[in-house]
């Protein structure tokens, strides 16, 4: 897909919010299982609490700085997935939270079609490795069978960054049991196992267009929220998270069309955007890392830890699991499959003003409140 000129202007969108009241949520409590994340020998996931209502969603776009310089991209213009940029994960691990898909490297589950990367979830029994790819016990002879297949790509050791702007234009799948995610994990676990070394969820969504279970939702209202979240704290199970949910303006649903999901990450601050609408900010005053040092003593990570190390990108489409299968209409509606997570492009930018800190290229809506996050327990 050809790169289009970036937009360097401000547009005040005079749009009404969705019928659900246009509210978003912020959650600041111990995590519950969600999108697959690695914890040394296993993937364990967490998500935002979808039930806590916060303030109105912003609708005003912000000026994206022209000081961001493109340093890495995939426009998916080639016939095949670029293995110099992406690695397939191949396992039936289930994400550590009872997800029901096997991730494969088959063309049935991941392919490029007319400039769009398609990650496709299929209803079919499949047998594959029972351990996550990075698990020291990973063995293709130790298998497990699950009732769905899908795909999960990562840029680990092929695209790794500390700070930057990360943009992904995507159209999301729909239906009960669907769980697409665009996110980041640390390439080296400097502060111990997940989530002490951090996780950045650029975008997650579950069960889009299923019946909404949002507080105050009306009869027949469809699920339409997306979630931006940080995971941090100590290694599981003493991990925590904080984040916000967001509704698109004018009642739009992310499953109906392509939208650009982005984060701007600089030293001590991370911001979330959809279509250049800045909807959330978290700072190092509301995150922390505590981990065991070489002497086995629990200590505090210094400075802006854990979000001061190289992270890589992940694109995946999970089915079911502890989050998706336990909200909205519950379970998995097998009649909606196959479904596809469609990705138009992935672009990574470096702030030319200060590449070492990522600062100086901020796009900020001053009306967006700072997410409080969580404070480190006293040691």
Give the burial string for 283-320 (b: 16+ CB within 10 Å, else e).
Answer: ebebbbbbbeeeeeeeeebeebbbbbbbbbbbbbbbbb
Q: Burial, 259: exposed, middle or buried (Cβ in 10 Å; 0-12, 13-18, 19+)?
A: buried
Whether 131 contacts 37, CB under 8 Å: no
Q: Which of 279, 304, 237, 308 is nearest to 60 (CA)?
A: 279
Distance, in Å, from the CA atom of 328 to the CA atom of 256, rounded to the nearest integer, reads: 19
Which entry of 26, 167, 199, 264 is annotated as an active-site residue? 199
Distance, in Å, from the CA atom of 39 to the CA atom of 28, rounded to the nearest integer, reads: 21
Which entry of 26, 167, 204, 214 is annotated as an active-site residue? 204
Distance, in Å, from the CA atom of 85 to the CA atom of 175, rounded to the nearest integer, reads: 30
Give the burial string for 198-212 (b: 16+ CB within 10 Å, else e).
Answer: bbbbbbbbbbbbbeb
Distance, in Å, from the CA atom of 153 to the CA atom of 88, rounded to the nearest integer, reads: 5
Does the annotation mark 204 as catalytic? yes
For residue 178 the two structure tokens come to 């669907």
For residue 295 the two structure tokens come to 């002497």
Residue 8, number of CB atoms within 10 A of its CB? 9
If you search the block for the tokens 């940029």, which residue do you land on? 85
Does the annotation mark 167 as catalytic? no
Give the H or E element holding residue 322: helix 321-324
Give the H or E element holding residue 282: strand 277-283
DSSP state of 217: P
Q: What does R_g of the chain's alpha carbons equal in angstroms?
A: 19
The residues annotated as belonging to the active site are 199, 204
């Amino acid at each position: 897909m050809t790169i289009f000129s970036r937009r360097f202007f401000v547009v005040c969108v005079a749009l009404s919010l969705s019928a659900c009241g246009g509210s978003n949520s912020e959650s600041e409590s111990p995590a519950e299982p969600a999108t697959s994340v690695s914890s040394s020998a296993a993937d364990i996931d967490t998500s935002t609490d979808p039930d806590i209502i916060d303030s109105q969603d912003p609708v005003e776009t912000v000026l994206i700085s022209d000081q961001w310089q493109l340093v890495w991209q995939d426009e998916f213009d080639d016939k095949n997935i670029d293995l110099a940029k992406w690695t397939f994960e191949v396992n039936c691990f289930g994400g550590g939270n009872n997800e029901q898909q096997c991730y494969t490297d088959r063309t049935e589950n991941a392919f490029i079609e007319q400039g769009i990367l398609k990650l496709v979830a299929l209803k079919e029994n499949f047998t594959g490795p029972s351990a996550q790819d990075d698990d020291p016990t990973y063995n293709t002879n130790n298998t497990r069978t699950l009732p769905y297949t899908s795909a999960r790509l990562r840029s680990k050791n092929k695209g790794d960054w500390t700070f930057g702007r990360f943009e992904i234009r995507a159209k999301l799948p729909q239906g009960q049991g669907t769980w697409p995610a665009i996110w980041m994990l640390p390439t080296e676990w400097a502060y111990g196992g997940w989530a002490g070394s951090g996780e950045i969820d650029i975008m997650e969504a579950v069960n889009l267009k299923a019946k909404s279970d949002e507080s105050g939702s009306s009869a027949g209202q469809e699920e339409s929220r997306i979630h931006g979240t940080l995971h941090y704290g100590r290694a599981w199970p003493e991990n925590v998270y904080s984040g916000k949910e967001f509704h698109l303006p004018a009642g739009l649903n992310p499953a109906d069309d392509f939208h650009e999901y982005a984060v701007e990450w600089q030293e001590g601050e991370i911001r979330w955007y959809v279509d250049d609408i800045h909807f959330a900010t978290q700072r190092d005053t509301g995150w922390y890392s505590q981990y065991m040092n070489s002497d086995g003593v629990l200590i505090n990570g210094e400075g802006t830890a854990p979000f001061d190390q190289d992270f890589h990108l992940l694109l995946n489409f999970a089915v079911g699991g502890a989050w998706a299968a336990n909200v909205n209409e519950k379970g998995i509606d097998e009649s909606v499959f196959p479904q596809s997570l469609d990705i138009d492009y992935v672009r990574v930018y470096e702030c030319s003003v200060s590449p070492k800190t990522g600062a100086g290229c901020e796009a900020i809506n001053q009306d967006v409140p700072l997410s409080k996050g969580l404070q480190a327990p006293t040691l």
